[in-house]
Amino acid sequence: MIKVLVNGALGRMGRTVIAAVKADAELELVGAVDIFSGEVDGVKVETDLAAALEKFKPEVMVDFTRPDAVFSNVMLALSKKVSPVVGTTGLSEKNLAEIRAAAEENSTPAFVAPNFALGAVLMMLMAQKVAKYMPEVEIIELHHDKKLDAPSGTAELTAKMISEVRAAHKQGHPDEKERLAHVRGADYDGIRIHSVRLPGYVAHQEVIFGGLGQTLTIRHDSTGRDSFMPGVVLACKKVRALTGLTVGLDKILD
């Protein structure tokens, strides 16, 4: 049994993770932490992460908290030789470099996935493949209106993966002018990213490729938070066998 602590236990993702960990025969939920105390699924929620890591001695800490809290949570877990499995978005490249160094220094593997849904990972891999042949591309990501950060980690990672296989270039008309600020979206090496925030959505993304007389659209929809759970459970089981920092669910699928 792998001992797991869930941080962000009272959140939308945290509650779903607690149920998934409890339902898995190879995982044992040993503790739950959030900013406020409470109870989820019969489990007491503590408020002091450092004390909870000492008290429950988990092997893995799952983190679904907030973009402004995740980095310090991860560094704290690594300092106590607990492996972080991180779903919280908003970690910068600099943060990731520091996490990688801390993971190596503490001989404690860490895992970060901007998206734990298998379909979303396949969407990104397909997008990278298509971009070699159809390099004109824009990304539209659509999320619920409680999401704190934009663009989504998935949109940013998709753009990064596409950028690895095509030369950066400006898209659209060379003389185009925005008559409303930001109407053409964010610019990632020339790839435009558009973020939609509305009630009714969970997590969705379209990657639209344009070519002569044709378009190709790859779309993924997470219609419920349970879509992320097989990925989170798999990461909890595999993280201790990794080394340093691993980023992306695709790295542990095979």
Name the residues that contact ligand NAP, by CB under 6 A: 7-8, 10-14, 33-36, 49, 64-67, 69, 73, 87-89, 113-116, 147, 228
Using CA atoms, how far apart are residues 195 and 208, in angstroms rounded to an integer?
14
> What does the chain look like in DSSP terms, one character per residue?
-EEEEEESTTSHHHHHHHHHHHH-TTEEEEEEE-SS-EEETTEEEES-HHHHHHHH--SEEEE---TTTHHHHHHHHHHTT-EEEE------HHHHHHHHHHHHHTT--EEE-S---HHHHHHHHHHHHHHTT--EEEEEEEE-TT--SSS-HHHHHHHHHHHTTS-----S-TT---SSTTTT-EEETTEEEEEEE-TT--EEEEEEEEETTEEEEEEEEE-SGGGGHHHHHHHHHHGGGS-SEEE-GGGG--
- Shortest gap between Cβ of 205 and ligand NAP (angstroms)? 12
Contact call for residues 113 and 235 (beta carbons, < 8 A): yes
Q: Which is nearer to ligand NAP, 184 or 237 (CB)?
A: 237
Nearer to ligand NAP, 40 or 137 (CB): 40
Give the residue closest to ligand NAP by C-beta: 11
Name the active-site residue from 22, 57, 147, 237: 147
CB of 238 to ligand NAP, least distance (A): 16
Nearer of residues 110 and 190 to ligand NAP, judged by Cβ: 110
Closest CA to 250 of 145, 75, 125, 143: 125
Q: In this complex, which beta carbon is closest to ligand NAP, that of residue 21 or of residue 190? A: 21
The catalytically annotated residue of 143, 194, 220, 238 is: 143
The minimum distance between CB 240 and ligand NAP, in angstroms, equals 20
To the nearest whole angstrom, how small is the minimum distance from the Cβ of residue 178 to ligand NAP? 28
Q: Which residues contact 200 (CB under 8 A, 6 or more apart)?
A: 144
Q: Is 143 a residue of the active site?
A: yes
Q: Is 173 an active-site residue?
A: no
Least Å from the CB of residue 206 to ligand NAP: 17
Smaller CB separation from ligand NAP, 11 or 190: 11
CB of 34 to ligand NAP, least distance (A): 4
Nearer to ligand NAP among residue 33 and residue 207 (C-beta): 33
Catalytic residue numbers read 143, 147
